[in-house]
Structure 1
Amino acid sequence: MTDVITSDKVATVSLADADGNMDKLAQDLGNSFVEYGFAIVKDHGIPQDLIDRAYAMAEQYFALPEEVKKKYHVEGGGGARGYTPFGVETAKGANAYDLKEFYHVGRDLPEGHRFRDHMDDNVWPEEIEGFKETFQELYAEFDKAGAKLLSAVERFLGIEEGFLVDAIEDGNSVMRMLHYPPIPAQPGEHIRAGAHGDINAITLLLGAEEAGLQLLTREGKWLDVKPGPGELAINIGDMLDRLTNGYLPSTQHRVINPAPERASASRYSMPFFLHFRSDFEIKALPSCVPEGEEPKYPPITADEYLQQRLREIKLK
């Protein structure tokens, strides 16, 4: 059985440094990514009152009757928009489904946009006043914070300024409202989220201060990830792993079931999965491929990779 350890070695960085000390932000963030695939970010600039409002609305939605929530399930949509019921998503290679339900909000694109066939329209629950406006605003704030983080990653990698930020413009990024209900008396092999790597470029996660999030270290030990209140847990996704030829690793992580005294409590969190635009070719950066070696992965577009992974986790 893999050991669990607790450590403060995952770097906590201030996103405020993006406006005055980008070199420090880039090095601290990049070094933590290289070692753990994770970092913790404070001073991210997302207004706390907006976060509080969004959490309150997410709780209202998940408290609705099942038949009402399921009105917003998009059949055949791969979970890209609207509601995905409890017990559907399953980690790649796992048999046990995750103990969670979630709701997805994506990018709004105008009619005639070249990526309209890759991104469905959002669906908005009519039962909760202000839901659409709140999550459109929060989505935009996450998008902005993600661009600042990628600017720091560009600096750390020594690549052209704006390369990664341009790659996420009109990307298929998704905001997820997650609800982990109280744990059943006998959950068996099921846990709140099985060990997995994220599909996207980077993930910005609100709500990880509630215990349960763990990453798997290079040494094969599970490490608790514990941001402070209001801080973000940030991790590298598979797309950025492929782009950097594994230099910035997409670390396996999970959400374990709570201690018995917390088993009757729900857990909520909000990850923002920052994606490259659909036609962006994910091809190993030359600077990340050692001389005389071939890249670990063949080139693939972001949309092709997304569709492949959605099938693997049983959303398609």
Structure 2
Amino acid sequence: MDALATFGCFDAEYPALTPEQRAALFDGAARPLFALPADAKRRNYYGADKPFHGYLGGLQGYDGYESLAIMDGNKPEPVRDFAGLMCPDGGSNDGFCSLRGEATARIFELEEAVRRMVMEGLGVAKYHDALSASTWHLFRMSEYQAPSAAEKTIRFGSHQDTNLLSVVCQHEVEGLEMQTRDRQWVLVKPSPTSLVVMVGQALRAWTNDRLHAPFHRVTVRGDVNRYSAILFSIPSGKIQAPDELVSDDHPPRFKPYYHDDFVRFSVSEKGARHEDKLRAYCGL
């Protein structure tokens, strides 16, 4: 709780996710996915009303960045559907379905455990089941192309996540940088036995600003591509702090809102003008 309130993140030592499972996730699944033709990757699409839920690539200002995602990626059926979509002939489906194997299951278990510990730490554990019931998960894999240069290149600029919690699994090549409250950038080096857990804006709002949603970015250098896998927990209901977290000493900081509405604001021209997009959107 101290880490999430002060820094908005922590490095979770997590041997339950073994090196073999990481290798299956990245070398056995992610690398072959990003080697597919662009037309195949563009099939990872969930409709015009969900523009950031599937494939991302060729975006203005995000040179050298590609990403694929699975809605409800912690469940077996959506992963099988995704595998069939990426490789309709079935040739590599078994490898792609390892995404859902033990690696994804272990990451999901950690995210759920941290959410429960946050509720317990704030004395509002009775809300855990209701929040879980209204939460779904997006599993996203990303490739950041190496610049083939010694100078650091930003592949994904400074931002705060909009969701509840993000659990980041890095693979070998460093690049994730977290910004401290005094605006210093700290490199989070990959570890074969840990995962990075960070707070998103939705959990910041739900806890009435008791937890910090950190700015972070991804940089690369050298000649080896960087890969990561992230599990995002996303609320589907109204985001509103429980009464127990609102008091005269800690008055309400945000109006109730819905996640999808906030995401649309964040990517709009109006939202882009604000650094603290949550406060601009619904701050009191």
Moved more, 122-131 or 143-152: 122-131
Name the CA shift for 1:292/1:74 in 2 (closer, same or farther; >3 Å): closer
Which amino acid counterpart does residue 300 of structure 1 have in structure 2? Y
- TM normalised by structure 1 equals 0.71
Residue 24 of structure 1: aligned partner = none
Which of 233, 249, 255 aligns to 1:274? It is: 233
Distance 1:53 1:105 in 2: 17
| 1:31 corresponding residue in structure 2 | 2
Aligned positions of 1:83-122 closer than 5 A: 83-87=55-59, 96-97=61-62, 99-107=64-72
The one of 35, 43, 52 aligned to 1:63: 35
| 1:300 Cα deviation from its structure 2 partner | 1.3
* Residue 45 of structure 1: how far off its partner (Å): 2.2
Distance 1:169 1:141, change over 3 A: farther
* Correspondence list, 1:1-316, <5 A: 30-43=1-14, 45-56=16-27, 57-73=29-45, 76=48, 77-81=50-54, 83-87=55-59, 96-97=61-62, 99-107=64-72, 123-124=82-83, 125-126=86-87, 128-137=92-101, 138-161=103-126, 163-169=127-133, 171-183=135-147, 191-207=154-170, 210-258=173-221, 262=222, 264-276=223-235, 278-279=236-237, 281-291=238-248, 294-309=251-266
- 2:168 and 2:230 in contact (8 A); partners too: yes
For 1:279-306, what per-residue CA distance to the aligned partner results, in whole angstroms no more than 9, with x for missing partners?
2x21123344351664221101344434
Structure 2 runs not aligned, ≥5 long: 273-284
Q: Which amino acid aligns with 2:66?
A: E
Per-residue Cα deviation, 1:105-159 (whole angstroms, up to 9, x for no partner): 121799xxxxxxxx9x953321523145322334443322211111111121111
Q: Compared with structure 1, are the counterparts of its residues 86 and 183 closer, same or farther at alpha carbon in structure 2 (3 Å cutoff)?
A: farther
State the distance in 2 between where 1:65 and 1:132 align: 16
Say whether the 8 Å CA contact 1:40–1:227 is kept in structure 2: no
More helix by share: 2
Q: SS of 2:110's equivalent?
A: helix
Matching residue's letter, 2:108: D
> By how many angstroms is 1:71 displaced?
3.9
TM-superposed deviation, 1:181: 1.1
C-alpha spacing 1:294/1:122, structure 2 compared with 1 (3 Å): farther
Q: Which moved more, 1:219-228 or 1:122-131?
A: 122-131
Q: Assess if the C-alpha contact under 8 Å between 1:45 and 1:145 holds in 2.
A: no
Distance 2:39 2:150 in 1: 25
Deviations 1:187-206 (A, max 9, x none): 99x72110000111011000
Deviation at 1:237, TM superposition (A): 0.4
Partner Cα separation in structure 2 for residue 157 and residue 225 of structure 1: 27
TM-score of the pair, normalised by structure 2: 0.78
User: What is the identity, as a one-letter code, of the residue corresponding to 1:154?
Assistant: M
The answer for the alignment partner of 1:26 in structure 2 is none
* RMSD, aligned α-carbons: 3.1
Whole-angstrom CA distance in 2 between matches of 1:74 and 1:274: 18
Deviates more, 1:69-78 or 1:242-251: 69-78
Inter-CA distance 169–143: structure 2 relative to 1 (3 Å threshold): farther
3-state DSSP of counterpart to 1:182? coil
More strand, by proportion: 2
Distance (whole Å) between structure 2 residues aligned to residue 37 and residue 305 of structure 1: 20
Q: CA separation of 1:303/1:165 partners in 2, compared to 1, >3 Å: closer, same or farther? A: farther
Q: For 1:191, what is the secondary structure of its paired residue?
A: strand
How many residue pairs get aligned? The number is 259
The worse-fitting range, judged by mean Cα deviation, of 142-151 and 54-63 is 142-151
Pairwise CA distance, 1:220: 1.8
Q: Secondary structure at the match of 1:257?
A: strand
Q: Displacement of 1:233 after TM fit? A: 0.6
